């Protein structure tokens, strides 16, 4: 009789432990439409940058990240590309493997509906930064 009671007590625990955990979705997967870019160039090492802001984007300006580690883009800011990417969650960065070399950006915001990236580079000897804001939907004009 004790064996039957133990078995009956174990059944709920076995049932709970056999449940499949929901697979955590990677929020970067999917299509992102460019909303805004802010470019800053620090000419000659100046502490005051030359700043350019652009918000005139269309449905043709997007990046699409796939679960298999590939991405493609169209329009601005990077033009038409297809390559691979990787996300480093602990460093909060994304690296795009482009035809001209790797580009690593800091993920400033990543939600189900918004993505903001920041990159730094050197252009003709001057420091340049780029902030790009994306959304899941095309901005209405």
Query: pLDDT digits over 7-61, tens only?
Result: 444 455 455 555 555 556 788 999 999 999 999 999 988 889 999 999 999 999 9
For residue 110, the domain's CATH number is 2.40.128.280
Beta-carbon contacts of 105 under 8 Å, excluding residues fewer than 6 positions away, are: 93, 94, 95, 96, 117, 118, 119, 132
7 within a domain of the structure (yes/no)? no
Total domains in the chain come to 1
Confidence of residue 77 (pLDDT cuts 50, 70, 90): confident
13 within a domain of the structure (yes/no)? no
What's the predicted TM-score (pTM) here?
0.76
52 within a domain of the structure (yes/no)? yes
Residue written as tokens 């590309």?
81
Supply the Cα-derived Rg of the chain in whole angstroms.
Answer: 23
Beta-carbon contacts of 107 under 8 Å, excluding residues fewer than 6 positions away, are: 28, 87, 92, 93, 94, 115, 116, 117
Domain of residue 31, residue span: 22-135
Confidence (pLDDT) at 2: 46
* CA atoms of 77 and 99, how far apart (whole Å): 15
């Amino acid at each position: 009789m004790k064996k039957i009671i133990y078995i009956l007590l174990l059944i709920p625990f076995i049932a709970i432990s056999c449940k499949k955990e929901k697979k955590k979705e990677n929020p970067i997967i999917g299509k992102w439409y460019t909303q805004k870019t802010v470019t800053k160039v620090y000419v000659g090492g100046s502490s005051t940058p030359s700043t350019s802001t652009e918000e005139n984007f269309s449905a043709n300006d997007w990046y699409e990240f796939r679960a298999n580690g590939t991405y493609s883009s169209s329009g601005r800011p990077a033009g038409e590309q297809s390559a691979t990417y990787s996300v480093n969650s602990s460093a909060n960065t994304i690296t795009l493997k482009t035809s001209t070399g790797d580009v690593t950006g800091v993920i400033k915001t990543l939600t189900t509906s918004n993505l903001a990236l920041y990159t730094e580079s050197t252009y003709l000897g001057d420091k340049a930064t780029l902030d790009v804001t994306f959304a899941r939907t095309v901005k209405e004009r």
